[in-house]
Amino acid sequence: MTATSGVGEWHYLHSEPTATGRLKTVPEDFKVREDLGFAPCGEGEHILLYIRKRGQNTQWIARELARVAGVTQREVTWAGLKDRHAVTEQWFGVHLPGKAEPDFSSLENGDVQILARARHNKKLKIGALKGNWFELVVNELAVNDPAELEARLIAIQARGVPNYYGDQRFGHNFGNLDQARAMFNGRKIKDRNKRSMYLSAARSYLFNLAASQRLSAGLGEQLMAGDCLMLSGTQSFFTINDDNPLDDALQARFDSGDVRLSAPMWGRGRLPSLEAAAELELAALSEQTDLCEGLENQGLKQERRPLLLKPQEMSWQFNGDRLSLSFWLPAGSYATSVVRELVKEAELHEDISE
């Protein structure tokens, strides 16, 4: 695998699909509803607005909110970026200490509607969401074996898919990786958002490489010595070692979904995996020394990310050459990771569900 491998080259969990189709022929084919996991408290110096947008990106809405409120863009926040090529619903926060609520109605049009608003006592921060609900439509579906596609859907529902970062994380022709390498080699990047984007691209790429290597070895659903296991629904993890041995009790926790396999989010410090698991991860990243060292020098710390992604409350329906899918995913995961295990040649565009 080369340094510019695309998502289509990452290893599959359920084997490469044979069906083909198109996603996002129109924005209504890709609907996202943000799940914050909490409700605004009703008081405070922050105004939270729940906005539905069609064909608009998150940053543009934020700039317009700042303009109407007469504040700097820094005073407008959101929990997660949402796709432009979609119909999405998400919360925005506007910091207005001691000020009355502006009239935001001038923002509304056929593509932008304010669905709810409320006061809150805390800033809405990046990552402060539980997950997202998705309703997707795959058009022009061409299936050689309908029974195989149905079985694949059932397998995805039961076992999940690789938790890969999508192609858009890396930029056009993997340009964000090129920028990351240039930054690591001394190029000054003054724009803080761009710096963050390039760091994220490098880290995400290394995760995908390690995850793909694990899957290609046939070990995507099998525990091994030295594995790092994440507690389901949290960022906490522990390593299989003498204190946490690979015994029947741990295997039962893994089988029940209480703990999950993970792959590295590279950074400074000792790789927390050990023995055979560490050897596999280090081998996968052996040709990416520049990215690994660059992330370490930027001060990022070793973290973990679940190896597999399991859609929740997943359902589907066929209607001629259309496949409708709905499911819930935790924050930071990609709906297109689900779709890529179902169909090839889908028009994925952007897919940001963070």
pLDDT higher than threshold 50 for residue 212? yes
Residues carrying an active site annotation = 83
pLDDT at 167: 84
Higher pLDDT, 41 or 354: 41
Report the candidate in 95, 129, 101 with the shortest Cα–Cα distance to residue 114: 101
- Which residues contact residue 205 at a Cβ distance below 8 angstroms, ignoring those fewer than 6 apart? 165, 169, 170, 177, 288, 291
Report the candidate in 43, 63, 44 with the shortest Cα–Cα distance to residue 53: 63
CA 265 to CA 300: how far, in whole Å? 9
pLDDT at 81: 87
- Over residues 288-299, the mean pLDDT reads 96
Q: Strand 87-95 relative to strand 30-35: parallel, antiparallel, unpaired? A: parallel
pLDDT digits (tens, 9 = 90+) for 172-183: 888 999 999 999
pLDDT digits (tens, 9 = 90+) for 220-237: 999 999 999 999 989 999
- Over residues 254-265, the mean pLDDT reads 97
pLDDT higher than threshold 60 for residue 128? yes
- Over residues 306-334, the mean pLDDT reads 96
pLDDT category of residue 3 using cuts at 50, 70 and 90: very low
pLDDT higher than threshold 90 for residue 13? yes
pLDDT higher than threshold 80 for residue 2? no
pLDDT category of residue 37 using cuts at 50, 70 and 90: very high
Which ranges constitute the DSSP H helices of 223-334? 248-256, 275-284, 289-297
What is the secondary structure of 280-300 as a DSSP string?
HHHHHTTT-HHHHHHHHHTT-
CA 298 to CA 293: how far, in whole Å? 9
- Share above pLDDT 90 across residues of the chain, in percent, rounded to a whole number: 84
pLDDT higher than threshold 60 for residue 150? yes
pLDDT at 348: 54
pLDDT digits (tens, 9 = 90+) for 66-119: 999 999 999 999 999 898 899 999 999 999 998 888 999 999 999 999 999 999
pLDDT at 347: 58
- Over residues 256-277, the mean pLDDT reads 96
pLDDT category of residue 353 using cuts at 50, 70 and 90: low
- Over residues 120-138, the mean pLDDT reads 94
Average pLDDT of the chain? 92
- Over residues 2-18, the mean pLDDT reads 74
Phi and psi at residue 170, in whole multiples of 5°?
Answer: -100, -5
Higher pLDDT, 202 or 126: 202
pLDDT category of residue 4 using cuts at 50, 70 and 90: very low
DSSP code at position 82 = B
Q: Which residue has the tokens 């370490």?
A: 296
Local structure of 150: helix, strand or coil: helix
pLDDT at 349: 53
